Amino acid sequence: MAGRGDPPEGTPEGLPGGGEDEYRSVVFDESFVRAARLQEFSAQERMGDHARAVRSLPVWGRRSGSKQVLLLVLLVAMAFGMAIYLGVRHPYPAPQFKQAEPLHITMIPLAPQGPVPGGAPTELYAHSPAAEFRIGASGITLPGARRTENFSEDQVMTALTTAKDYLVESSLDPDVLTGGAVRPVRMLLDPDQLEQFDRSIASPAGDGRHAATGWLVRFDPSKVALADPKIRVQGTLHVAEAGPDALEVTSDHTFAYALRPVGVSGPQASEASLFTVRRELHFRFDRDDLRQHRAELLVSYVQAGPQSCSADASGALRPLLAGQRASADGPAGTDPYARGRATAALCGALAPGAQPLP
């Protein structure tokens, strides 16, 4: 029989309240039921004295969630620890930072075989091998910069331009040439070499390490002056890798200076003469040097003349001027019995073709 108030055939389908549509939105799936905190007692359980209608279920869901959170924290901690480990023990070797080597200096005076020719600077240049040289910094030309295996094109160019800057400051700056300034040169050196540089300037010595003229071109301003500020220059620059962390630049330049005497009188007081300096320098640049725009100067090989073989050119170059001749004295003697660093004075003969023609 149909319930009271219901039609004999039951509630028609399609009408409100018919079928299960009315309860479809509140049907609970199995996971919702299992996650419920409260559960109704059975009929037999509710017959007991003081029986409650419902009981609390164990909070398995909460405990399970706590375990998941703990596991997640554990995984994050392990990942963080692994990242730190790999950061400390990465497979790539750590860069080796080496202290800059001391500069090795070779100074060779070139003695003329006759009197030094004199004249006007323009005439001297025009009749000398320096006739085709460029003037000043324009004579220090840069080769094309190309990337290497471990250095970019910009880094190669930085090495070349820093080497050129050093040549300009140490060979062409009038204040440096006359002994009045050293800071423009000092600023371009690696800090590891500053102690050697400072000692070379303060107490120059011909020991292969501490000649001021190994670092820069310098004349005694009480004896000579520039007769023409337009110094002639010609030479080359070459760059190559010296390993995965260093570039080397080799410079080979000849500088021709027109000089005149200072503090003398007579017919030759106004005559100029040419003085030639050939400098072959070896620079090295690590990555820190490239960032700081500075260089390590490893080798300085200098030939300069006309000078007398007996002249001490460690503190300043000693040019022979117009009309002067080289003394008959040879280089300073070397004592093989002396203790300490061995020294050996060298001297070369200035080829006649290196002097201006009459």
How many domains does the chain contain in total? 2
Sign of CA dihedral 135, 136, 140, 144: negative
Neighbouring C-alpha atoms within 13 Å toward the C-beta of 110: 17
The single-letter DSSP state of residue 210 is -
Q: Does residue 14 form part of some domain? A: no
The predicted structure's pLDDT at residue 77:
82
Query: pLDDT class for 357, splitting at 50, 70, 90?
Result: confident
Q: Which amino acid is at 268?
A: Q
Q: Does residue 10 form part of some domain? A: no
Task: Judge if 73 and 116 occupy the same domain.
Answer: no
Task: Judge if 255 and 227 occupy the same domain.
Answer: yes
Q: Does residue 60 form part of some domain? A: yes
Task: Judge if 51 and 173 occupy the same domain.
Answer: no
**Residues with Cβ < 8 Å from 354, sequence gap 6 or more?**
110, 128, 129, 276, 305
Q: Does residue 94 form part of some domain? A: no
Task: Answer yes or no: are the C-beta atoms of 111 and 350 closer than 8 Å.
Answer: yes
Q: Does residue 197 form part of some domain? A: yes
User: What average pLDDT does this structure show over 133-159?
Assistant: 96
Out of 39-43, 190-194, 251-255, least confident range: 39-43
Out of 15-29, 157-171, 257-271, 335-349, least confident range: 15-29
Q: CA 172 to CA 170: how far, in whole Å?
A: 6
The single-letter DSSP state of residue 28 is -
Neighbouring C-alpha atoms within 13 Å toward the C-beta of 249: 29
The single-letter DSSP state of residue 295 is B
Q: What is the DSSP string of 88-110?
A: HS-SSPPPP--PPPPPEEEEEEE
Task: Judge if 142 and 211 occupy the same domain.
Answer: yes
Q: Does residue 139 form part of some domain? A: yes
Task: Judge if 257 and 294 occupy the same domain.
Answer: yes
Task: Answer yes or no: are the C-beta atoms of 223 and 261 closer than 8 Å.
Answer: yes
**Helix, strand, coil fractions of the chain, as percent rounded to 5:** 30, 20, 45
Q: CA 345 to CA 109: how far, in whole Å?
A: 9
Task: Judge if 111 and 209 occupy the same domain.
Answer: yes
**What backbone torsions phi and psi does residue 220 show, to the nearest 5 degrees?**
-80, 110
Query: pLDDT class for 180, splitting at 50, 70, 90?
Result: confident
Domain that holds residue 207: 104-325+345-354
Task: Judge if 150 and 77 occupy the same domain.
Answer: no
SS3 269: helix
Mean pLDDT of the chain: 83
Task: Judge if 222 and 248 occupy the same domain.
Answer: yes
Q: Does residue 255 form part of some domain? A: yes
Taking 60 as the threshold, does the pLDDT of residue 28 lie above it? Answer: no
Strands (E), 112-218: 134-135
Q: Does residue 20 form part of some domain? A: no
Task: Judge if 220 and 119 occupy the same domain.
Answer: yes
Task: Judge if 288 and 218 occupy the same domain.
Answer: yes
Task: Judge if 159 and 206 occupy the same domain.
Answer: yes
Q: What are the pLDDT digits (tens) for 283-299?
A: 999 999 999 999 999 99
Q: Greater confidence, 187 or 266? A: 187
Task: Judge if 53 and 152 occupy the same domain.
Answer: no
- Point out the domain boundary residue: 54, 88, 122: 88
Taking 60 as the threshold, does the pLDDT of residue 174 lie above it? Answer: yes
